[in-house]
Amino acid sequence: MSNQTTTSIFAPITVDLQRSADGGWRSVLYDDVYFQRNHALDESRYVFLEKNRLYDRLAAHHAKNDARAVFTIGELGFGTGLNMLLVIDLWRDLFAKQGNSASRLHLISFEKHPILRDALANVYAEWPTLEKSCRWLLANYPPPCGGMHHLHDDNLNLRLTLVLGDIGATLPDMAGDGTIDVWFLDGFAPLKNPAMWHNDLYAHLFRLSRAGGTLSSFTVVGKVRRGLTAAGFTVEKTKGFGIKWSMTVGHKPDGHQAIQKPQRIAVIGAGIAGASVARALALRGCEVSVFDRHGEIAAEASGNPRAIVYPKPTADDAPSGRFSLMAFCFAEALYHHLPQNIWQQTGVLRLMLDAQKIQRAQKITAFHGYPDALCSWQEKTAFNHPALLHATGGMLDAAALCKQWLGHPRITLHLGTTIDQIPVAGFDATVVASANAARHFAVLADLPLQPLRGQVSSLKPTAVSQNLRQVICHEGYLTPVVDGWHHAGATFQKEGPTQTTSHTDTIRPQDNLENLETLNTHLRGFGFGAGDLGPARARYRATTPDKMPIAGKLEGAANIYVC
């Protein structure tokens, strides 16, 4: 972490752990313990798993074996993650003893002061019985950067969403009314942490709870129980663990209609947007049909040799920067399980080529205090320019990823099939993910999409360039050698496809020379010449005026979505 102070709620303050008097762990910030040392696992199992009847409820959920069924547990205060680890272990045990199940488990935990990974590893060393789950959590633990992080274990149909930031700011923004089956209320004692146990909190817990959903907490403080009751929960005291006299349990009364979910979905476009949305829907139990007018997957810009993936934070904590950072963390969490031939975490070095860019980049790293792995300032580089290094960035074979994702058994592919009308008849919803072609549909003709032609050139490695290990971004980019070639891109021309060029375009030799010249201007020393130029590829990006993606439901139209 940078040692500059930050003023952003976006950068949560990480916390130091200290040994408590009984040899457990306490938070220096709150002067309270995470759990009692001697009985930590048994006590958490009793208060949170047993008192919410999770042994029976999760076994019944597992037995449904239905990908449309999701059981959701929310938690105030992730802390060391002990409660969530116990749930994961219980879920893992059901898979081991009763076989695989398509049913899904979603855990959502809120945390203002994340513990750093190394400190967590010390805590976990004391829990050998949870070793498998601890190892998974450590391997997927996100950087301490505010927002929503998703950790996946596809073998267990498990997603853990860590929401980093003050719950007073993050909980009101949570979507998913009526979806939480169980709440663990574990945010330090109200006396030690009065700010968290605020009256607004209870209304949001109630809003997000499913009818019949339950909750439990160590605390029996009257203010908390009155707050929960006023929000609509039925609350009672029950016997606490061991010598502890009491604790709180509660539930949201029944009487709420289950939400009808769409089940048969048409997705138009088999590029990275279409493949991502199709996979996400298939994982949630929907039957998905993907249509593409081309005879192959990722035929347009998604099929470029490599996509360069890195976050673009802003210096002023703007929503666009937050979005980019969260999108990057989301993508990286998915990609880092992929084989080397699809995702290579090379790091991305972005050279700052003029004084203005240098100043902005320095402001970015100073303001947020980003974890080094996400974004760090490099005063000196081998390229005579300072740079931002995104060490967890890399390069993606997006076409290969699309193929992998579209191979899901609940996805049917219809290549070479042009859709003329939306919504597509016979489906509960239609998702349009066809880039510039989305505007061919009358209801989407006004989408602010601007086609932008780009040509990527491939280059034979030189004696010097073959040693390049990172992706370098300057005005364009240069990849390390992939299957014998560097890829350098890309040109920008405000042009759209014409009748004759369709979605592809003929290669323009002058554009290859332009890529080469930009490269040689900023990355002197590699010694590329025109003789090193090899194949090239030109396609049309779909850009928007503010460079943000378009995603969501089309207002006023029956079940049409765009992404």
Give the residues lining the site for ligand SAM (CB under 6 A).
Answer: 34-35, 77-83, 110-113, 166-168, 186-188, 193, 195-196
Q: Read off the amino acid at residue 85.
A: L
Minimum Å gap between C-beta 21 and ligand SAM is: 16
Classify 241 in phi/psi space as left (phi over 0), alpha (psi -120 to 50) or beta. beta
Residue 88 vs 554, nearer CB to ligand SAM: 88
Minimum Å gap between C-beta 44 and ligand SAM is: 6
Q: Retrieve residue 490's tokens.
A: 């890309």
Nearest one of 68, 63, 134 to 100, comparing CA atoms: 63
Minimum Å gap between C-beta 318 and ligand SAM is: 23
Phi/psi for 334 (5° steps) reads: -75, -40
Beta-strand pair 287-292/411-415: parallel
Minimum Å gap between C-beta 201 and ligand SAM is: 9
Minimum Å gap between C-beta 168 and ligand SAM is: 6
Residue 79 vs 269, nearer CB to ligand SAM: 79
Minimum Å gap between C-beta 308 and ligand SAM is: 34
Residue 219 vs 344, nearer CB to ligand SAM: 219
Residue 187 vs 271, nearer CB to ligand SAM: 187
Residue 194 vs 253, nearer CB to ligand SAM: 194
User: What are the DSSP E strand ranges found in 50-156?
Assistant: 70-76, 104-111, 147-153
Residue 111 vs 397, nearer CB to ligand SAM: 111
Nearest one of 535, 547, 548 to 304, comparing CA atoms: 535
Distance CA 429, CA 552 (A): 12
Q: Read off the amino acid at residue 544.
A: T
Alpha helices in 99-183 (DSSP H): 117-124, 131-140, 167-170
Distance CA 31, CA 23 (A): 15
Answer yes or no: are the C-beta atoms of 337 and 155 closer than 8 Å.
no
Q: Retrieve residue 213's tokens.
A: 């959903």
Residue 34 vs 441, nearer CB to ligand SAM: 34
Nearest one of 236, 235, 174, 226 to 205, comparing CA atoms: 174
Q: Which residues contact 424 (CB under 8 A, 6 or more apart)?
A: 266, 268, 289, 291, 430
Q: Which residues contact 436 (CB under 8 A, 6 or more apart)?
A: 449, 451, 496, 497, 540, 542
Residue 167 vs 399, nearer CB to ligand SAM: 167
